[in-house]
Amino acid sequence: MVRRHRPTPERILRCPQCRSTDVFTDVTMFSGALYTCKQCGYKGPFILEEDVPSQPPPLPEGSSEDLP
Ligand SMILES: [Zn+2]
């Protein structure tokens, strides 16, 4: 197995302007993190973060989908 064990779920960054995930993180000493979007050229401290669950959540059993 080449994959590393990740205790925390992986996250993807999404551009708040064009919703692209082609976003880079620039960390500066003074202002913290700056994000740069490769698609629309957006640059700023605000970005959308989405969790990427490693496994899909289990479906609840005995739900209303169980029609007789
Ligand atoms: Zn963008």
Ligand 1 centroid – CA 38 distance (Å): 6
Residue 17 has pLDDT above 90, yes or no: yes
Query: Rounded to an integer, what distance in angstroms lies between the CA atom of residue 26 and that of residue 45?
Result: 9
Ligand 1 centroid – CA 65 distance (Å): 39
Does the pTM surpass 0.85? The reply is no
Q: What is the pLDDT of residues 45-60, one digit of tens each?
A: 899 998 877 777 677 7
Q: What is the dihedral of CA 43, 49, 55, 57, to 10 degrees?
A: -150
Ligand 1 centroid – CA 52 distance (Å): 20
Ligand 1 centroid – CA 12 distance (Å): 14
Beta bridge partners of 62: none
